[in-house]
Amino acid sequence: MENPYYGIGNPESLKYNLSGKWSRQITHK
């Protein structure tokens, strides 16, 4: 998955953030 934000900041941080957000949403349900 190529995102335009890859160049902004750290892609690893973004990936972790997204993963955490998704995980939270799934756990919340």
Domain spans of the chain? 1-28
Q: Return d(Cα 22, Cα 15) in angstroms, integer.
A: 10
pLDDT at 16 over 60: yes
Phi, psi of 28 (to 5 degrees): -65, -40
Reading the block at residue 6, the tokens are 């890859």
The identity of residue 29, as a single letter, is K
> What is the predicted pLDDT for the residue at 23?
64
- Asked whether the beta carbons of 6 and 18 are under 8 A apart, the reply is no
Reading the block at residue 3, the tokens are 């995102």
> What is the predicted pLDDT for the residue at 7?
56
Averaged pLDDT of the chain: 63
Q: Stretch 2-27: mean pLDDT, rounded?
A: 63
pLDDT at 12 over 60: yes
pTM over 0.85? The answer is: no
Helices (H), 1-29: 11-28
Q: Stretch 3-25: mean pLDDT, rounded?
A: 64
> What is the predicted pLDDT for the residue at 14?
64
